[in-house]
Structure 1
Amino acid sequence: MASASKIYLRLMHVAHLLRRPMTLGVRGAAFDAEGRVFLVRHTYVSGWHMPGGGVDRAETAEAALVREMWEEGRITLSGERRLFGVYLNDHASPRDHVLFYRCEGAEQTEAFRPNYEIAEAGFFHPEALPEGTTPGTRRRLAELLHGAPLADRW
């Protein structure tokens, strides 16, 4: 009987995941030694964003952050990585959550080359962001740098 109840519980767990899946992503405000923040412009969505992406199965959030920084901009992080906030990103899905990190010691250790995902990338002074920087990116930087009230949605 114990094995039947284990099977039942497992099936209920799978059904729950299929009915109500949640996704988890990471984004990072990566600052270089000059205090500039690294932003990317994707090929598939408009605007300038902080780099980030989904957390893969069996991957820690911090490992996903390091991986995404490298993949999207050839950025390495030698300084502190600190979780700043957790946000619901209901623009993507009603169950998408983003862990937002402040990252120090960002350095582009290889030249960036545009690719199928990232059209442009670069470091920008927070007070001189490029035209087209998304409202969400601007709000997160205001929270992080200027003490703006923390939101719970991206």
Structure 2
Amino acid sequence: MTLGVRVLATDPAGRLLLVRHTYVSGWHLPGGGVDLGETAEQAARRELREEANVEAEGPLTISGCYFNPLVGGRDHVVLYRAARLTIGPRPERNLEIVAADFFPPDALPDDTTPATLRRIAEWQGAPPSDRW
């Protein structure tokens, strides 16, 4: 089994943090794989720092655990929520991240990925799914 994390992070204005990668299309919630010896929460915090220069304050809240059948048939994604953030300057483009920015929930980029849109809809009250 493989395990990944994503973070639904909101700034004080209620905007959502999304990232664009160099290796896949669309805007995604920040996140990635859990490294050897790392807890899922540690991975979520690391990914926020690495991808967006954002630090989550206080404990993260687990929002759900989802089966991701598109990645080897054994992948799961733990989704965390973070509302108290320390936001640094937006990082410059690097080998992994093209852009990271905050967007109002009603003005998301057109190419926000379907899985990201499903998680945002659940955050807004839609019935939850168990699949990424």
Does structure 1 residue 48 correspond to structure 2 residue 14?
Answer: no
Q: Structure 1 stretches of 5 or more lacking a match?
A: 1-21
Q: For the residues of structure 2 that align with 1:39 and 1:61, how far apart are their CA atoms?
A: 19
1:108 aligned to which of 83, 87, 101: 87
TM-score under structure 1 normalisation? Answer: 0.82
C-alpha separation in 1, matches of 2:90 and 2:30: 16
Deviation at 1:80, TM superposition (A): 4.6
2-structure distance, mates of 1:95, 1:63: 21
CA distance in structure 2 between the aligned counterparts of 1:93 and 1:41, rounded to whole angstroms:
23
Structure 1 stretches of 4+ with a deviation exceeding 2 A read: none
TM-score by length of 2: 0.95
Higher strand share: 2
2:14 counterpart SS class:
coil
What does 1:1-154 align with in structure 2 at a 5 Å threshold? 22-145=1-124, 147-154=125-132
Amino acid at match of 1:152: D
Superposition RMSD in Å: 1.1
Secondary structure of the residue aligned to 1:44 is: coil
Q: Percent identity?
A: 53
* 1:24-52 CA distance string (max 9 Å, x none): 01000011111111000100000000000
Structure 2: how far apart are the matches of 1:133 and 1:44?
15
Question: Quick check: 2:7–2:80 contact (8 Å CA) kept in 1?
Answer: yes
Kindly indicate whether structure 1 or structure 2 has the higher relative contact order, using CA contacts under 8 Å at least 6 residues apart.
2
